Amino acid sequence: MVDKTRPRGFSFDRPLLLLVAIVVSLGLVMVSSASFPLDENPYHYFVRQLCFVLVGLALMFFIGSRDIRRFDSKTLVYALVIAAVILLALPFVPHVGQKINHARRWFKLGPVSGQPSELAKGIALLFFAWYLAHKGEGIRAFWRGVAPITVVAGVFIGAVIIEPDLGGSTMIGLLLMVMLFLAGARLRVLTLYSIIGGAGFTAIMLTSAYQRIRFFSFLHPWDDPTGASYQIKNSLIALGRGGVGGVGVGNGLQKLFFLPEIHTDFILANLGEELGLIGLWATFILFGVLVFRAMRLAMRSREPFVRLIGAGAAALLGLQVVVNAGVVMCLLPTKGLAIPFMSYGGSSAILNFSLIGLILAVGRASAPRTAPEPTSAWSPLRDRASGGLEDSCSDGPSTSISWGSAESE
C-alpha cells in the first residue's frame, strides 16, 4: 500500500521529543554519577538504567505511533484494569512479592520484576480518560457520573495503599482529581473530594507509625539528624552544597552513602549538588515546558478522549515532578516517589515513557495538518471538522483518495 500522498517523514512532536531527549540524557548522567560508589561494578546501575531507557524509548515510539483512538476501547480498558488489579496483588503473593524497606511494592516473576503501583498509575489514567470521555456531560451528575469512577479509583488507591505506598496512592488520588476537574465535574464535588482526601491522608499519616515518623521528620528535619530525618537532612545538605553552579558532575559527596536512595527517589539532590541552582532550574523549566507542551497538544484536539488522555498524561508527569521535587527539597513529607526519566528504575521508566508515547500519539492525532499546497477551498472544511478529517486522511487509504485528487490538481 505505497501511498505517495501519505504525509512523509516524522509525525511526532519535535519539541516534545527534544525535551524528553534532554531530560533523559541528564537523567542518565545523574544516575551514572550518583550510583557509581554504590556497587562493586561502578557501571552496574548505569547499564541497567540504559536498558530501561532503551526499552522505554521503544515502548514510547510503539505507543506514539499508534492511533490514540485505538485506546478508546472498552475491551482494552477493562482488560488493563483487571490486569492492574492482578499486578497490584502480586506483591502479596508468597515467593513472588518482595518486601523492601517495610513495604510490599515489588513482585518478582523469574527475570521480570517490577513495581505494579507504577503501572497502576498509567492504567488508572487510561481508565479515567476513557470513562470521562464517554460520560461527557454526564459527569456533572454525582451518582451516575462521579460515583462509579470514584469506586474504581478507590479500588486502585486501596490496593496501592495497603502495600503501603502512600505516594503511589496519593498520586492516583491526585490524578483522579485532576481528571475530574479537566472533564468538567462540579467544583463542589472536587472541594468535597479534596477535604476527604486531605483528611484521609492526614489520618494515615498519623495512624501509621512508619508514616508518622516520616511526617514529623519532614516538619523538623534538623531535630533528629541521625534518626528519622537522616535522609531529608542529607538531601538538603546535598542541595545546599551545590550553590549556584554545583560542585561538578561526579564530584558530589552525598552519594558516598550519606544520602540513601540518592540514585532513585533523591536523584534530584545529587543533581542539585553537582549542577547547583542552574541544574535544578534547568530541570524544572524543562519539565515545566514539557508539561505545557503536552497540555497544548492535548487541548488542540476536539475529541474528549484525546484531550483527556493527553492532559491527564501531562498532569501525571507534572505531578510526579512536583511531588518528587517537593519531597527532595523538604516541602512535602517523604513519600518514595520517583522523578520521571531521572530516577533509576525500570517500572518508573516504563510508565513515564508510555505517558510520553500517549502524548506523542495525542500530538499526532491533534496536529493541525497543513496539506501540501492547500487551497483556500479546503479551509472551511477543516474549520468545521478538522480533527476527524485530518486524522482519517493520515491513517487510511480511503480518505487519501480525496486528498490525492486534491493534490493531483
Which residues have CB under 8 Å from 340's CB, separation 6+?
A: 23, 287, 317, 320, 321, 348, 352, 355
Hey, which residues does 100 pair with through a beta bridge? 103
DSSP state of 40: S
Near another protein by CB under 8 A: residue from 148, 372, 374, 388: 388
Near another protein by CB under 8 A: residue from 2, 151, 209, 244: 244
CB closer to another protein, 84 vs 259: 259
Regarding 304 and contact with another protein (CB under 8 A), the answer is yes
CB closer to another protein, 86 vs 187: 187
Near another protein by CB under 8 A: residue from 43, 62, 78, 257: 257
**What is the x/- site pattern for another protein, positions 76-115, by CB under 8 A?**
----------------------------------------
**What is the x/- site pattern for another protein, positions 137-176, by CB under 8 A?**
x---------------------------------------
Which residues have CB under 8 Å from 222's CB, separation 6+?
A: 229, 233
Dihedral of CA atoms 118, 120, 122, 128 in degrees, nearest 10, equals -150
User: In terms of residues, how long is the chain?
Assistant: 409
**Helical segments of 162-208, H only:** 166-183, 187-207
CA 285 – CA 31 distance, rounded (Å): 20
Q: What is the DSSP string of 51-71?
A: HHHHHHHHHHHHHHTS-GGGG
Contacts to another protein from residues 320-349, by CB under 8 A: 322, 325-326, 329, 331
CB closer to another protein, 35 vs 347: 35
Regarding 120 and contact with another protein (CB under 8 A), the answer is no
Regarding 396 and contact with another protein (CB under 8 A), the answer is yes
Contacts to another protein from residues 180-199, by CB under 8 A: 181-184
Size of residue set near another protein by CB under 8 A: 60
CA 52 – CA 354 distance, rounded (Å): 12
Near another protein by CB under 8 A: residue from 19, 239, 327, 351: 239
Regarding 381 and contact with another protein (CB under 8 A), the answer is no
Regarding 16 and contact with another protein (CB under 8 A), the answer is no
Taking the CA atoms of the chain, what radius of gyration do you get in angstroms?
23
Regarding 297 and contact with another protein (CB under 8 A), the answer is no
CB closer to another protein, 105 vs 241: 241
Regarding 37 and contact with another protein (CB under 8 A), the answer is yes
**What is the x/- site pattern for another protein, positions 261-280, by CB under 8 A?**
-----------x---xx--x
Regarding 224 and contact with another protein (CB under 8 A), the answer is no
The DSSP element (H or E) to which 230 belongs, if any, is helix 230-242
Give the torsion sign (CA, 180, 128, 92, 112). Answer: negative
CB 167, CB 336: distance < 8 Å: yes
- Per DSSP, the chain holds a count of helices (H) and strands (E) of 14, 3
Q: How far apart, in Å, are the Cα atoms of 357 and each of 117, 265, 309, 403? A: 19, 23, 11, 28
Cβ neighbourhood burial of 36 (10 Å; 0-12, 13-18, 19+) = middle
Q: Which residues bind another protein (CB under 8 A)?
A: 37, 67, 69-70, 72-73, 136-137, 178, 181-184, 236-244, 253-254, 256-258, 272, 276-277, 280-281, 284-285, 287-288, 291-292, 295, 298-299, 302-304, 307-308, 311, 315, 318, 322, 325-326, 329, 331, 388, 391-392, 395-396, 398
